[in-house]
Amino acid sequence: MVDQELENKEIAKQYKELLRISYQTLSEKDKKQIRLAFDMAVEAHSEQRRKSGEAYIFHPISVAKIVAQEIGLDATSICAALLHDVVEDTKFTLEDVERILGKTVAKIVHGLTKISHLKKDKNISLQAENFRKMLLTLNDDVRVIIIKIADRLHNMQTMDAMPEYKQVKIASETLYIYAPLAHRIGLYNVKTELEDLSLKYTEPLRYQSIYEKIEESKEVQNEYIKSFSKFISNELDKERLKYSIKGRSKSIYSIHQKMLSQNIPFENIYDKFALRIIYKSTRAKEKFLAWKIYSIITDHFTPNPIRLRDWISAPKSNGYEALHITVMGPENKWVEVQIRSERMNEIAEKGYAAHYKYKQGEQKDIGIESWLNRLQEVLENNTGNAVDFVEDFKLNLYAEEIFVFTPKGDLKSLPQGSTALDFAFSIHTEIGKKTRGVRVNEKLVPLSKVLKSGDQVEVITSETIKPSKNWLDFVITARARSSIKSALNDEKKVRAEEGKEILRRKLKQLKISLNDKSIQQMLKFFKFESSQDLFYRVGIGTLENRKLKEFSSNYHNTILNFFKRRSRSNSMYSAIPDNSSISEKFDKLVFGKEKETLAHSFASCCHPIPGDSVFGFITVNEGIKVHHKECPNAIALQSNFAYRIISAKWVDSSSEEYTAKLKLTGIDKKGLVNEVTRLISNHMNVNINKINFDSEDQFFTGKIHVSVPNKGVLEKLVQNLSKVNGIDKIVRE
């Protein structure tokens, strides 16, 4: 039985804490408005409980606390957070919200409610479509997105009561969409927590292992930070600076990513923590003092020149400002030092809430407004598949930035890796579409030229130019990709309409009607993805009459199973298993709860072999593709196509061989290749399929393709190769 009196006391306590912890100073008017929202939320959710059994009202209060304290938004946002589920789940209407709390709160609540109303269409990814709809609400009010991120954070914090397959799905969505968005908006603390919680549910063993190792090393690490901080404090005190020094560990997720990307164990990661120096300063002296502190530190500790990051002279486009340096500290350990003023630190902690707090007069802002304007243009231009849209857009969410100049000297920020054509589209989509050539630093360069910070770029346009398909091979920004695809699609539609009529006439001569049935059979026969592709090929004349006659002769004998396969894919979803206990003998794959032996092939993006943790993905045209659980595409597939994921498990010994690709790097020496090939050849059950070694300035890179029966044999081979003198690193591709 629930103790109602005790529960009511806790609700009242949480409400008081919400007011107390708010980052913004709340006026009496603000507090009255929050009280109205709180009372409405309590009444609306009075009969509801969460899966954990607690009263539902604790969820909106917790979301409001995240919005108020961690993100630092205003009273209006706090009210909207308290009411974010009211219109969706209770008797209260949007009109009720507007009548009691005003138009602005109602508008934000309406934006949050719109996100929840998904179109149940099996042909698209619901999560990708959800993401696109969520971004469309940015046009209403950016606070909609921020509250949605806070809502997701609290859901992640309280997910233990859910079944495992839901935990994996929600965590995958969080890594795929919400963490990158939090990063882009400047909510670094929220992003870090979302990533760590996601790893906890997608890879619990890895999460727990890293967590325990961090805890084990915490005492030694704290002593090191304390000693290093004391030395720096003594030097800063001599200059009479006012400051504080904080040490912080790297997040579990960032350590996990570094272990994966560099193929190294936890013990070999040296920059597991950073020091943060936060100094008091007037706005006018901020830059001077940052470089003064830099000078003091580097007078005593050698800096790593390639690890200097100056985000004070050129802030990130999400408002982040700081000076990052990495120095060789005591005991020959690399230490990252972050130098921020109090204002910069608030912006780093609170994102745009603090950014706007400090904004003054006519100060030029290349931050969130320009980002939202570019985003809105991408949304309006986008006509394609929701999943393609998400992939294009996500390219720019985590991207590091470069800063380039227009001919007039205006500064433009672009993601690292952007090309000259990306720059043209960043000026205006119409300029991008008509780009004939580009000058970088007064020299003509290819449109595919990758830009670097400091370049001055001039775009040459022509009214006769149209975007071509090969442009998509080298542009990286969502704005450019979206605009090019939209332009190509318009051209394709015109040709497809012409092609449809031509095809109708040609089929009539072959005594076939152009209808849904014949179109589906042609898509299968010619291996086209859509009817538009079919009509377009006819329209441009690349589908020969001979091929149409071949189709005609097979027309009545072809057995189509396209729809049957799709139906099957919807019924076979189950959670991805943990294959951590697989041994060398388990080399045969079975699928689904019934443990069926099904036809399958291995994905080329991750090359899984027996013993790897894997899952099956049911494709439309190629049957089941088996992916490694740590495949770069795993999160996207689990998030977007959960209904097409099928569990896979290694259960039986097999004599089949599988190809594994190894990349070796290190210091070259005479006879190294002979030693490597001899070692592999002498290794039981391993054959070399392909080998290639390149050497430059005594540094070598080797690529070897070997055939192995299972993961255990491969691991033993890697272990033996790593003992060869000169080999520094071995990575499986």
Q: What is the CATH classification number for the domain harbouring 35? A: 1.10.3210.10
Per-residue confidence band for 655, with pLDDT thresholds at 50, 70 and 90: very low
The average confidence (pLDDT) of the chain is: 79
Helix (H, G, I), strand (E, B) or coil at 311: coil
The dihedral built from the CA positions of residue 93, 94, 100 and 101, taken in this order, carries a sign that is positive
How far apart CA 33 and CA 27 sit, in angstroms, is: 10
Nearest to 614 by CA among 627, 605, 603: 627
pLDDT of residue 341: 95
Helix (H, G, I), strand (E, B) or coil at 596: strand
Q: Identify whether residues 248 and 335 lie together within a single domain.
A: yes
Does a structural domain hold residue 365? no
Does a structural domain hold residue 261? yes
* Range with the poorest average pLDDT among 300-304, 315-319, 343-347, 543-547: 315-319
Q: Identify whether residues 214 and 352 lie together within a single domain.
A: yes
Residues 557-578, mean pLDDT to the nearest whole number: 40
578 pLDDT higher than 80:
no
How far apart CA 64 and CA 365 sit, in angstroms, is: 28
pLDDT of residue 565: 41
152 pLDDT higher than 60:
yes
| Type of residue numbered 456 | Q
The dihedral built from the CA positions of residue 138, 142, 143 and 147, taken in this order, carries a sign that is positive
Per-residue confidence band for 419, with pLDDT thresholds at 50, 70 and 90: very high
| Type of residue numbered 52 | S
β-strand pairing of 624-628 with 600-602: parallel
Residue 243: CATH number of its domain:
3.30.460.10
Per-residue confidence band for 317, with pLDDT thresholds at 50, 70 and 90: low
Q: How many CB atoms lie within 10 A of CB 293?
A: 22
Does a structural domain hold residue 84? yes
Share of the chain above pLDDT 70, in %: 81
Supply the Cα-derived Rg of the chain in whole angstroms. Answer: 29
Length of the chain, in residues: 733
Does a structural domain hold residue 32? yes
Q: Which of 348-352, 399-403, 641-645 has the highest mean pLDDT?
A: 641-645
User: How many CA atoms are closer than 13 Å to the CA of 468, on its beta-carbon side?
Assistant: 8
Helix (H, G, I), strand (E, B) or coil at 399: coil
Q: Are 709 and 685 in contact (CB under 8 A)?
A: yes
How far apart CA 141 and CA 205 sit, in angstroms, is: 40
Per-residue confidence band for 482, with pLDDT thresholds at 50, 70 and 90: confident
- Assess whether 88 carries a catalytic annotation: yes
Does a structural domain hold residue 298? yes
β-strand pairing of 273-279 with 333-341: parallel
pLDDT of residue 582: 38
β-strand pairing of 658-667 with 727-732: antiparallel
pLDDT tens digits, 17-48: 999 988 878 889 999 999 999 999 999 998 88
78 pLDDT higher than 90:
yes
Q: Which helix (H) or strand (E) holds 676?
A: helix 672-682
Residue 646 makes CB contacts below 8 A (sequence gap 6+) with: 572, 573, 574, 591, 592, 615, 616, 617, 618, 624
Q: Identify whether residues 617 and 718 lie together within a single domain.
A: no
pLDDT of residue 584: 46
Q: Are 174 and 194 in contact (CB under 8 A)?
A: yes
Residue 713: CATH number of its domain:
3.30.70.260
Q: Are 645 and 593 in contact (CB under 8 A)?
A: no
62 pLDDT higher than 90:
yes
Q: Identify whether residues 704 and 620 lie together within a single domain.
A: no
Residues 526-555, mean pLDDT to the nearest whole number: 80
Q: Of 54, 88, 235, 391, which residue is the catalytic one?
A: 88
Q: Are 545 and 507 in contact (CB under 8 A)?
A: no
Task: Output the six-digit token pair for 266.
Answer: 């936890």
Query: Which position has the token pair 């080999």?
Result: 727
Selected residue with higher pLDDT from 101 and 306:
101
Q: Are 289 and 321 in contact (CB under 8 A)?
A: no
pLDDT tens digits, 250-271: 899 999 988 888 888 888 887 7
User: How many CA atoms are closer than 13 Å to the CA of 286, on its beta-carbon side?
Assistant: 17
Task: Output the six-digit token pair for 99.
Answer: 């009548």
pTM value > 0.85: no
How far apart CA 624 and CA 614 sit, in angstroms, is: 12
pLDDT of residue 82: 95
pLDDT of residue 126: 52
Per-residue confidence band for 111, with pLDDT thresholds at 50, 70 and 90: confident
Share of the chain above pLDDT 90, in %: 21
Does a structural domain hold residue 547? no
Query: Which position has the token pair 């706007």?
Result: 356
How far apart CA 300 and CA 297 sit, in angstroms, is: 6
Nearest to 348 by CA among 182, 206, 218: 182
Tally of domains within the chain = 4
Q: Identify whether residues 15 and 141 lie together within a single domain.
A: yes
Does a structural domain hold residue 23? yes
pLDDT of residue 537: 83
pLDDT of residue 586: 58
217 pLDDT higher than 90:
no
Q: Which helix (H) or strand (E) holds 9?
A: helix 4-21
Q: Identify whether residues 648 and 698 lie together within a single domain.
A: no
Selected residue with higher pLDDT from 658 and 353:
658
Q: Of 7, 10, 54, 89, which residue is the catalytic one?
A: 89
Q: Identify whether residues 14 and 96 lie together within a single domain.
A: yes
Task: Write the CA distances from 41 to 17, 55, 397, 509, 574, integer angstroms.
Answer: 16, 12, 34, 68, 36
Selected residue with higher pLDDT from 448 and 187:
448
Q: How many CB atoms lie within 10 A of CB 674?
A: 9
pLDDT of residue 278: 96
pLDDT of residue 688: 78
Query: Which position has the token pair 């092939």?
Result: 601
Helix (H, G, I), strand (E, B) or coil at 444: strand
Buried residues in 394-431 as b, exposed as e (16+ CB within 10 A): bbbbebebbbbbeeeeeebbbbebbbbbbbbbbbebee
Query: Which position has the token pair 């902690």?
Result: 349
Composition of the chain by helix, strand, coil, percent to 5: 50, 15, 30
Task: Output the six-digit token pair for 142.
Answer: 């950016």
How far apart CA 24 and CA 309 sit, in angstroms, is: 30
Q: Are 670 and 725 in contact (CB under 8 A)?
A: no
Does a structural domain hold residue 472? no
* Range with the poorest average pLDDT among 29-38, 449-458, 665-674: 665-674
pLDDT of residue 352: 59
The dihedral built from the CA positions of residue 161, 166, 169 and 173, taken in this order, carries a sign that is negative
Q: Identify whether residues 139 and 283 lie together within a single domain.
A: no
Q: Are 355 and 348 in contact (CB under 8 A)?
A: no
How far apart CA 86 and CA 109 sit, in angstroms, is: 8
Domain that holds residue 320: 210-356
How far apart CA 504 and CA 452 sit, in angstroms, is: 52
Q: Identify whether residues 119 and 266 lie together within a single domain.
A: no
Task: Output the six-digit token pair for 533.
Answer: 């592709």
Residues 213-231, mean pLDDT to the nearest whole number: 87
β-sheet bridge partners, residue 55:
49
pLDDT of residue 154: 94
Residues 469-485, mean pLDDT to the nearest whole number: 85
pLDDT tens digits, 272-303: 788 999 999 999 999 999 999 999 999 999 88
Task: Write the CA distances from 122 to 118, 119, 566, integer angstroms.
Answer: 12, 9, 10
Last residue of a domain, one of 339, 356, 373: 356
Last residue of a domain, one of 586, 621, 652: 652
Selected residue with higher pLDDT from 493 and 344:
344
Q: Tell me the H-state helices in 476-627.
A: 478-509, 516-526, 531-539, 545-554, 562-571
Selected residue with higher pLDDT from 354 and 556:
354
Residues 129-155, mean pLDDT to the nearest whole number: 73
β-sheet bridge partners, residue 303:
327
pLDDT of residue 285: 93
Q: Identify whether residues 597 and 715 lie together within a single domain.
A: no
Q: Identify whether residues 276 and 330 lie together within a single domain.
A: yes
- Assess whether 346 carries a catalytic annotation: no
Nearest to 58 by CA among 70, 46, 74, 69: 46
The dihedral built from the CA positions of residue 31, 33, 36 and 41, taken in this order, carries a sign that is negative
Q: Identify whether residues 639 and 700 lie together within a single domain.
A: no
pLDDT of residue 577: 39
Helix 58-65 with 142-157: angle, nearest 10 deg: 120
Angle at 705 between CA 704 and CA 709, to 5 degrees: 130
- Cα 555 from chain centroid? 45
Last residue of a domain, one of 129, 161, 193: 161
116 pLDDT higher than 70:
no
Residues 166-171, mean pLDDT to the nearest whole number: 85
389 pLDDT higher than 50:
yes
